[in-house]
Amino acid sequence: MATLTIRNLDEPLKARLRLRAAMRNRSMEEEARQILRTALLEPAPAAPDIGTRIRARFAGLGDVRLSVELREPVRLPPVPDTHAPAAAARSTKTKAPAKPR
């Protein structure tokens, strides 16, 4: 088991812990363990997601509605020309030198 040392505990708080432990017939150490166990077994409150937090942060400014423009339908992708590689190959051949004028 682990050991926990609590420093700078206020005297009134220590006295309340001692009284609470005595009322339950426990040592102060056991009472402190029970208090920690009870406190940490409670389910943690669910943290709101980022969208909810942002909305709450700016709620006092009022709601802003932006118009959403309609979009054009998505274009079909171009179909590659099956004869394009051959045409490109022909265009890369060296041409005959031009006739002098």
**The pLDDT value given to residue 29:** 94
Residue that is written with structure tokens 């030198």 in the block: 97
pTM of the model: 0.45
**The pLDDT value given to residue 55:** 86
Phi (first) and psi of residue 65, to 5 degrees: -110, 125
Q: Is residue 30, in this structure, part of any structural domain at all? A: yes
Q: Is residue 22, in this structure, part of any structural domain at all? A: yes
* Helix or strand run (H / E) with residue 25: none
Q: Is residue 25, in this structure, part of any structural domain at all? A: yes
**The pLDDT value given to residue 99:** 67
Q: Is residue 101, in this structure, part of any structural domain at all? A: no
Q: Are 28 and 17 in contact (CB under 8 A)?
A: yes
**The pLDDT value given to residue 66:** 83
* Domain of residue 15, residue span: 11-41
**The pLDDT value given to residue 44:** 81
**The pLDDT value given to residue 62:** 81
Q: Is residue 67, in this structure, part of any structural domain at all? A: no
Q: Is residue 29, in this structure, part of any structural domain at all? A: yes
- Number of compact structural domains in the chain: 1
Q: Are 56 and 48 in contact (CB under 8 A)?
A: yes
Query: What are the residue ranges in the chain where pLDDT is below 70?
Result: 83-101
